[in-house]
């Protein structure tokens, strides 16, 4: 093993990336874990916002529809980096004001929670649009059948609408998830220790920029590849009731 | 005139699912299963139903015929409140559906409960495409009627066998013919042991050679004493299975009576013309 590394001239690289100090590998992995945690949380929050947002846009009253239109337009118009700065500083500021008002001192806001909150709001805007389109693609007869057989609204949502819209929403949601994993890198600007910031710190401490950023790139790529496999499975499952286009021949 | 919702408590509202089931076959013959009184329905300014009254007793097969756009589907859909009537009164198994002044149901729970006693079979089947046939049939019994899963599955298998789909229980609807899908939809309807079945042109979306297999199933159900309201363009079939035929013309009942009368000796010119045009 060492011989191979030696001949390839990678001994130094291996030492830098080693999981135990003085290697920085553990730091990178910790950053990756943080990134994934935020991405998962934000994606989940985005789905919940998106489902409510989609229903609001489709069936809500005029005021709710206008508010949702403003939300999705603004969020999708402003660059994510700017949004993150705004939401992060405004959000923490508001919480601190509230805490002071209620007689507590400054509260320390966990980076993970703040990150999920900020990215979740961004993801929610995109998820609203993806799910709105998917809900509209569900044949109305399926929802009508649920109503005709006495299913209450929430049961219909859970048993009929959501499973049926999955077939239409999965490709869009898969994209959204990948965006979530990469948007976590933007949280570096507010000093959150996700993968990119950890990488930057490792790189500048050791002056081995190339090694560390290449390693980080590899980690992001791995996340993407694994996500692809998972989403392909989800999509196959979601489309289980639909004849594939390929099967029919030309 | 909208019927004011009566204020008396609703005794059946507290009935548990298991006491609910009174199958059509067991039900008292002669009792009204469906009673519609003075039903009006407008879509905006378009008045589609102009005061329709109709009664189906337990075990009756009522065929509803009429030209396209005469309001047949709308009438059927008002019975289970898929459409909100503009005015009128609907009584299912002696229980009046409480309506607000605008015709919307006053009590959502009541509507949902009554809907489980009505089973609708749609022109376009409307099976849940992400579920297998078996899953389609057990869905409502398990999740709405709270029947234990094993029991629901056993019953569903019996029903699928009855409609000739025993070997298709794991297939998804999109992989089956229209006739098979409609038979599965009938099995789904039977799974709630409905007191009234509502058929809205069940064979109109089918290729001609598939119509027969669906009609055979419906004929069986009629013979077994199921109460049904059947909108159809199959005049010969209507004449054969119906106890009562209703001819709807522009939102009103133009003529009704026993099939021999309505088909054999139509009194209204419009009905005579209609029968000529479809035969
Ligand atoms: N949701 C709706 N909105 C507006 N008009 C409708 C709607 N549903 C039905 N109609 C109209 O009501 C009339 C009766 O329709 P329908 O009951 O479907 O007729 P039938 O089933 O007898 O062919 C038609 O003129 C149709 O265009
Ligand atoms: Mg119709």
Instruction: Please give the ipTM for the structure prediction.
Output: 0.85
- Assigned CATH class of B4-29+58-83+117-278: alpha beta
- pLDDT band at A81, cuts 50/70/90? confident
Geometric angle at alpha carbon B226, from B74 and B127, rounded to 5°: 55
Residue B99 DSSP class: B
Domain ranges for chain B? 4-29+58-83+117-278
**Of A22-36, A39-53, A70-84, A116-130, which range is least confident?**
A22-36
Q: What is the pLDDT of residue A245?
A: 67
pLDDT of A88 over the 90 cut: no
pLDDT of A198 over the 80 cut: yes
**pLDDT (tens digit, 0 to 9) for every residue of chain B, 279 residues total?**
444 444 444 444 444 444 344 444 444 556 889 999 999 999 999 999 999 999 999 999 999 999 999 999 999 999 999 999 999 999 999 888 988 887 778 888 999 999 999 999 999 999 999 999 999 999 999 999 999 999 999 999 999 999 999 999 999 999 999 999 999 999 999 999 999 999 999 999 999 999 999 999 999 999 999 999 999 999 999 999 999 999 999 999 999 999 999 999 999 999 999 999 887
CA distance B160 to B25: 19
Geometric angle at alpha carbon B147, from B146 and B149, rounded to 5°: 110
Q: What is the pLDDT of residue B15?
A: 40
| Non-local CB neighbours of B258 within 8 Å, separated by 6+ positions | B243, B244, B245
Q: What is the pLDDT of residue A246?
A: 64
CATH number of A24-238: 1.10.3720.10
Give the tens place of pLDDT for each residue, A152-174.
999 999 999 999 999 999 999 99
From ligand 2's centre to the CA of B248, what distance in Å? 12
CA-nearest residue for atom 1, ligand 1, is: B43
Geometric angle at alpha carbon B77, from B76 and B83, rounded to 5°: 145
What's the gap in Å between the CA of A143 and the closest CA on chain B? 9
- What stretch of H or E contains A176? helix A162-183
Q: Residue A75's Cα: distance from chain center in Å?
A: 15
Half-sphere exposure in the Cβ direction for A177 (13 Å, CA): 20
Measured between alpha carbons, how far is residue B235 from residues A155, B61, B63 in Å?
A: 39, 14, 9
- pLDDT band at A8, cuts 50/70/90? low
Domain ranges for chain A? 24-238
CA distance B163 to B185: 10
CA distance B126 to B94: 29
Closest CA to A41 of A131, A126, A118: A118
- Structure pTM? 0.83
**Chain B hits for A144, Cβ within 8 Å:** 82, 122, 126
Please answer whether residues B116 and B140 qualify as being in contact, where contact means their C-beta atoms are separated by less than 8 angstroms: yes
Judged by a CB distance cut-off of 8 A, whether residue B61 touches chain A is: no
Question: What does the block give as tokens for B147?
Answer: 């029947």
What's the gap in Å between the CA of A47 and the closest CA on chain B? 21
CA distance B91 to B257: 21
CA distance B182 to B176: 10
CA distance B116 to A163: 22
Closest CA to B193 of B18, B17, B13, B21: B21
- pLDDT band at A86, cuts 50/70/90? confident
Q: Flag if B128 and A142 touch (Cβ within 8 Å).
A: yes
Judged by a CB distance cut-off of 8 A, whether residue B129 touches chain A is: yes
Q: What's the mean pLDDT in A121-139?
A: 94
DSSP letters along B109-175, please? HHHHHHHTTEEEE-TT----TTS-HHHHHHHHHHHTS---HHHHHHHHHHHHHHTT-GGGTTS-GGG
CA distance A215 to A218: 5
CA-nearest residue for atom 24, ligand 1, is: B69
For residue B232 and ligand 1, the question of a CB distance below 6 A is answered with no
Q: Which residue has the tokens 């500048």?
A: A204
- Residue to mutate, B64, B67, B69, ligand 1, most ligand atoms under 8 Å from C-beta: B69
Question: What does the block give as tokens for B67?
Answer: 């030209």
Residue B70 DSSP class: S
């Amino acid at each position: 093993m060492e011989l191979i590394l030696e001949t390839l001239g990678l001994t130094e690289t291996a030492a830098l990336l080693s999981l135990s100090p003085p290697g920085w590998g553990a730091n990178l992995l910790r950053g990756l874990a943080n990134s994934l945690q935020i991405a998962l949380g934000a994606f989940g929050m985005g789905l919940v916002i998106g489902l409510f947002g989609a229903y609001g846009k489709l069936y809500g009253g005029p005021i709710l529809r206008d508010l949702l239109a403003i939300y999705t337009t603004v969020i999708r118009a402003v660059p994510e980096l700017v949004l993150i700065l705004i939401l992060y500083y405004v959000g923490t500021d508001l919480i601190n004001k509230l805490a002071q008002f209620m007689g507590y001192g400054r509260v320390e806001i966990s980076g993970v929670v703040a990150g999920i909150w900020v990215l979740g709001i961004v993801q929610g805007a995109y998820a609203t649009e993806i799910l709105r389109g998917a809900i509209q693609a569900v044949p109305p007869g399926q929802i009508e059948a649920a109503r005709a057989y006495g299913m209450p609204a929430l049961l219909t949502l859970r048993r009929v609408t959501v499973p049926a819209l999955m077939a239409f929403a999965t490709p869009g949601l898969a994209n959204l998830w990948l965006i979530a994993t990469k948007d976590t890198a933007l949280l570096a600007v507010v000093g959150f220790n996700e993968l990119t910031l950890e990488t930057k710190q490792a790189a500048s401490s050791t002056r081995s920029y190339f090694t560390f950023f290449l390693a980080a790139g590899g980690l992001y790529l791995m996340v993407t590849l694994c996500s692809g496999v998972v989403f392909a499975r989800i999509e196959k499952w979601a489309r289980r009731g639909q004849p594939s286009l390929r099967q029919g021949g030309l | 005139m909208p019927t004011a919702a009566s204020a008396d408590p609703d005794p059946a509202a507290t009935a548990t699912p298991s006491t609910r089931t009174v199958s059509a076959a067991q039900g008292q013959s002669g009792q009204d299963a469906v009673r519609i009184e003075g039903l009006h329905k407008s879509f905006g300014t378009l008045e589609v139903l102009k005061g329709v009254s109709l009664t189906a007793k337990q075990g009756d097969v009522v065929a509803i015929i009429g030209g396209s756009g005469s309001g047949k589907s709308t009438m059927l859909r008002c019975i289970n409140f898929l459409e909100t009537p503009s005015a009128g009164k609907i009584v299912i198994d002696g229980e009046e559906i409480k309506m607000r002044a605008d015709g919307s149901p006053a009590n959502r729970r009541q509507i949902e409960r009554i809907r489980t006693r009505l089973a609708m079979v749609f022109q376009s089947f409307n099976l849940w495409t992400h579920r297998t046939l078996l899953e389609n049939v057990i869905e409502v019994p398990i999740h709405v009627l709270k029947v234990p899963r094993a029991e629901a599955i056993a019953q569903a298998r019996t029903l699928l066998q009855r409609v000739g789909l025993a070997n298709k229980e794991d297939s998804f609807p999109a992989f089956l013919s229209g006739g098979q899908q409609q038979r599965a939809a009938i099995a789904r309807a039977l799974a709630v042991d409905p007191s009234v079945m509502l058929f809205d042109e069940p064979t109109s979306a089918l290729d001609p050679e598939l119509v027969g297999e669906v009609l055979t199933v419906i004929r069986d159900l009629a013979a077994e004493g199921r109460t049904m309201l059947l909108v159809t363009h199959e005049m010969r079939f209507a004449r054969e299975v119906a106890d009562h035929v209703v001819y709807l013309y522009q939102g009103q009942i133009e003529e009704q009576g026993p099939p021999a009368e309505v088909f054999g000796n139509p009194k209204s010119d419009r009905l005579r013309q209609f029968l000529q045009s479809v035969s």
